[in-house]
Chain A
Amino acid sequence: MQAFEYASPTSVKEAIGMLSSQWGEADILAGGTDLLALMKEYIHTPKRVINIKGIKELGGIAKTAAGLRIGATVTLDELTENAAVRTEYPSLHQAAMGVSSPQIRNMGTVGGDLCQRPRCWYFRGGHGILGQENGKSLAVDGENRYHAIFPKSQAYYVNASSLAPALIALGAKAKIAGPNGNREVPVEQLFVVPSNNSGRELSLAANEILTEIVVPSARGVKNATYEVRQKEALDWPLVTASVAIKMKGSSVASARVVLGHVGPTPVVATEAEQMLAGKSLTQDVATEAGKSAVNGAQPMSGNAYKVQLARVAVKRALLEAAKARG
């Protein structure tokens, strides 16, 4: 890895002052489970690394009037141990437990999970975020078994976040601090599709920091995450589905259905959401919702199986949610 400056600020303001307005100049270090590998492979060659683990205001989980406030440097382990997360947000708990390495749950953070870079092997092999050579995406004619079935523009990688689908389904917001103050966006809007091979897949500016996530109360919201993963031990999900359902009596008042690891951003399955409204959560309805969720999928040579996995993940997440109280 390339030599770099190291800073360990104690306040968000100080940290922002150390960032650059240009991508590539500085990198934020929290758990380090992604950044260090990126640096060793010379995918990232920051001149400055800013450790934000020493910033107290970025830690902690607290119940507030707006919902559950989760600091960006809360580890996945802290998240899974939290009583409120366990009882009120099973979908979030299940998503975090999907990171099945205790070591990574101990080190990895909520902010890091959301901001980590894609695992696409063409990106990690040095072919840029869109995995291109001579302007052509290598995944299209190459090895795409783990790639997108909902590609967007020229982006065939999949968003790697474990928590994003659950957070989006639960309607969570992300707070972002920058040189011009704070802003708040729905988690869904954190993710964008880069327009070129050196672009970024987050809507954050290079000198902004994700500071916290606020998840609205899920009381009365049935929620669950189902992850299809090949291995029990540490492995990336092949497909994830997170659902959050508001019931009216025995039928669905409104539903959120979000797929992970199927596109360059988490995919909100609007058709499935609309189809569920007014229905009871039966096996048949869950199966139908799974089918609706993959309408419009565009699989490539080696990843058609992910369409089937997405159908099943949605079905199983809905049936899991149906069992939950709330």
Chain B
Amino acid sequence: MPNYSWPPMSTRKAIGQRLSRHDGIEKSTGRAKYNSDLNKPGMLQSALLTSPYAHARVRSIDVSAAEKAPGVTAVRVIAPAGTELQWQSQEIAVVAAATEPQARDAVRLIKIDYEVLPHVVREEDISKVGNRAKPAGEQLTGDPDKAFKEADVVNEGHYGIPVLTHCCLESHGQVVQWNGDQVNYWPSTQNVSGIGGDLAKNIELPATAIKVHQDHIGGGFGSKFGSDRWGVEGAKLSKASGGRPVKTFLDRATELNIAGNRPSAYAKIKMGAKKDGTIIAWESTSWATGGMGGGAMPPIPYVITNIPNRRLNHSAVATNGGPLRAWRAPNHPQASFLTCAAVEDLAAKLGMDPIEVFVKNIEYAPEPRRESYIYQFKKAAELSEWSKRWHRRGDSGSGPVKRGLGVGICSWGGAGHASTCNAKINPDGSVDIELGSQDLGTGTRTIIAQVAAETLGLPVNAVKVKLGDNALPPSNGSGGSTTVGGVSSSTRIATVNALDKLFEKVAPSLNTTADKLEAVGGKIQVKGDPAKSLTWAAACRKLGTQSISEQGQNNPRNPLGLNTQGVAGVQIADVSVDVETGVVKMNRMVAVQDCGLVVNPKLAESQVAGACIMSICGALMEERVMDQQTGRVLNPDMEFYKLAGAADIGEIIVHMDLREELDKRGVIGLGEPPTVGGVAAIANAVANAIGVRVPIIPLTPDRVLRALEERRSA
């Protein structure tokens, strides 16, 4: 078997380069076309009728007026009479028409008689949810009752983090054309190779009949893997409209209501420790919702999982809200916040530095990552000037603006997914790398080109990367931070295989054998004798008229050491809080993160910076506000569903942990881990600044002022 190993760090040329992403200029100038930009000749527009109620039964539905409305080509009923609707904006019917206004006007002509049923849409006060809470069994380890008696310090707190939505700037949807026995499908997806099969099974066609194409995606964050109701209905509308293409992209309100959310997590947590900071007991009662399915227990205690004595109880609360979907590191940000906030509160009670408490208890973390956390705490402390700026709870300075620092941690897997790559070396010297994968905006195209260029000894811009079509060799969907490990490994294997074929072709003309050749600096040369060489172009000319086309596969069960899993990360937030207004401002966010071999440090840092921004939004602003009276989402917009702008972010310092012993582990995914610890870090920084815990996220002025008020009146 050829040697597929990554070249050692010191000899790499293309891998490790701080290149800007290949599609950066295209995207920033607006030339990049997303599928939501598509306008096909003869294309129809569709509009959905969705439920105005959180819980209702459709008694009757009459679409006859809509069918006769101007421009309408097809109307489909999704929820026929008798259907029980379980959340606001659940799909009821869909209309295709020549223009979007015509489709929307027609939707308003559909007559429905609803039987309105009782709803529960809020879960933060579990005493008010009645039988909607489904307790899971108690998880018991050791003897927590005894341990709490033996503890020198016991701290109890309550904490909560609400339901968030994905807020993809490109909403969910697609253009789809069902013509005869073929469907052309242009979705917004994280799953180019797989989504066709998902659509196929819903419209009873073979998967091979679905042609999927997508060049760019405007955000997914875990919410765009399947064909969705609107994809299936779009295809059926196209068929019913004589095979004309039909466009459906959700409007903002529908997007926020039904295209996925991140479940909430609330918990009462009790921790017990010895005077020296050794944690000996944990007890938590938690609950969560992500719609009618409730919400699972986040993995608590997070990272320091193996606290010897622990009792965990959790209830999934079913609420009449849109269903949850994976959101960048499912359940980890919640777990990190619940755990790190409780540890920080315990540390304050112990009179200790929280980093000291984490380090003291690091043996409860999985063995392979302990050393990484200790190193990263130290690094993050240094970059945030922790020793100078951290203080005991409550900034004692004068004036209304208080400054504080707080810490949060993350962990994640991130092993490479199944991926097949085809590498072509052409007689004219050009190189084509083809994968049925997708670039979520993380720079996947760029890192693939870097891996190929490294193997072939070429400049990165000599490699052409083709993604985004399900006619290309398949790769799994981009979820779970699995893409970079998968595509870098399959590309490495494919390019090594292709290069070996090229060596075989040119070896005779260099009077040697293939195994004696290497590709370096745009040449094919004899190892140890660079005078005996051919330029890349001359070598490729030896191919005559036939390209070399070789495949490589990443097999997740045997990744050949090219990729692996398991990362650590530490984030420290530095905030200022105006205690007269409750407004929190970010001064600085420090993120220290490892992810094994880093193909492109600039893109990696950019990925982490983006994750920090998401954390800032999540900690300070984002919240799906539900109204128990009407059962509706009150802020399905970008006005009161708040996200940070550039001026709200402060300084972001990213340090990729590139130490050689981590590099040797191979490539590991990065998409999710850096989104995990930020909310915890910011919440802890606010507690450190103002001297009191603000228990419920986001840390809005009302909550900050209430916490200060409660302390004053306590």
Contacts and interface: CB of A to CB of B under 8 A. Distances in A.
B165 to A, nearest CB: 16
B640 A305 contact: no
A298 to B, nearest CB: 17
A303 B702 contact: yes
Interface string A104-126: 00000000000000010110010
Contact of B701 (A2, A142, A234, A309): A309
B101 interface: yes
Contact of B647 (A125, A133, A232, A236): A232
B648 A1 contact: no
B276 interface: no
A125 B640 contact: no
B39 interface: no
B648 A233 contact: yes
B632 interface: yes
Given A143-B627, A230-B583, A125 B634 contact: yes
Interface string B644-665: 1111100000000000000000
Contact of B644 (A1, A42, A231, A303): A231
B628 A142 contact: yes
A229 B645 CA distance: 13
Interface in A211-249: 228-236, 238
A125 B630 contact: yes
Contacts of A127: 630
B650 to A, nearest CB: 10
Interface in A109-153: 119, 121-122, 125, 127, 133, 138, 141-143, 145-146
Given A121-B634, A138-B629, A305 B101 contact: no
A236 B582 CA distance: 16
A235 B642 contact: yes
A70 interface: no
Contacts of B706: 305
Nearest to A146: B640
Given A119-B639, A121-B634, A305-B706, A228 B701 contact: yes
Given A119-B639, A125-B632, A302 B627 contact: no
A66 interface: no
A1 B101 contact: yes
A227 B634 CA distance: 24
B644 A142 contact: no
A125 to B, nearest CB: 6
Contacts of B634: 121-122, 125, 143
Interface residues of B, number: 31
Interface residues of A, number: 33
SS class, residues of chain A in contact with chain B:
loop
Interface string A80-100: 000000000000000000001
B200 to A, nearest CB: 35
B513 interface: no
Nearest to B625: A143
Contact of B645 (A233, A236, A308): A233
Given A231-B644, A233-B645, A309-B581, A138 B630 contact: yes
A2 B630 contact: no
Q: Which of B620, B634, B644, B648 has the most C-beta atoms of chain A within 10 angstroms of its own C-beta?
A: B634
Contacts of A100: 645, 647
Interface string A155-191: 0000000000000000000000000000000000000
Given A121-B634, A230-B621, A312 B581 contact: yes
A234 B645 contact: yes
B77 to A, nearest CB: 22
Interface in B672-714: 700-702, 705-706
A231 B105 contact: no
B385 interface: no
B113 interface: no
A125 B625 CA distance: 13
Nearest to A226: B581
Contact of A308 (B635, B644, B705): B705
Contact of B642 (A133, A228, A230, A305): A230
B580 interface: yes
Q: Which of A143, A229, A230, A308 has the most C-beta atoms of chain B within 10 angstroms of its own C-beta?
A: A230
A123 B705 CA distance: 27
B256 to A, nearest CB: 13
B98 to A, nearest CB: 14
A231 B642 contact: yes
A305 B705 contact: yes
Contacts of A230: 583, 620-621, 642, 700-701
Interface string B503-544: 000000000000000000000000000000000000000000
Q: Which of B627, B635, B702 has the most C-beta atoms of chain A within 10 angstroms of its own C-beta?
A: B702
Contacts of A65: none
A125 B253 CA distance: 11
Given A143-B634, A303-B702, A232 B648 contact: yes
Contact of A305 (B104, B108, B582, B620): B582
Given A138-B630, A142-B628, A143-B627, A232 B645 contact: yes
A231 B645 contact: yes
B582 A142 contact: no
A232 B646 CA distance: 8
A100 to B, nearest CB: 8
Given A305-B702, A312-B580, A121 B640 contact: yes
Contacts of A235: 642
Nearest to B584: A230
Interface of A: 1-3, 42, 100, 119, 121-122, 125, 127, 133, 138, 141-143, 145-146, 228-236, 238, 302-303, 305, 308-309, 312
18 contacts: A121-B640, A122-B634, A127-B630, A142-B630, A143-B625, A230-B642, A230-B701, A231-B644, A231-B645, A231-B647, A231-B648, A232-B645, A233-B645, A302-B702, A305-B706, A308-B581, A308-B582, A312-B580
Given A3-B101, A305-B701, A312-B581, 12 more contacts: A119-B639, A138-B629, A142-B628, A228-B583, A230-B701, A231-B642, A231-B644, A231-B645, A234-B645, A305-B705, A308-B580, A312-B580
What are the 4 closest A-B residue pairs judged by CB atoms, nearest first?
Answer: A233-B645, A232-B647, A305-B702, A121-B634
Interface of B: 101, 104-105, 108, 580-583, 620-621, 625, 627-630, 632, 634-635, 639-640, 642, 644-648, 700-702, 705-706
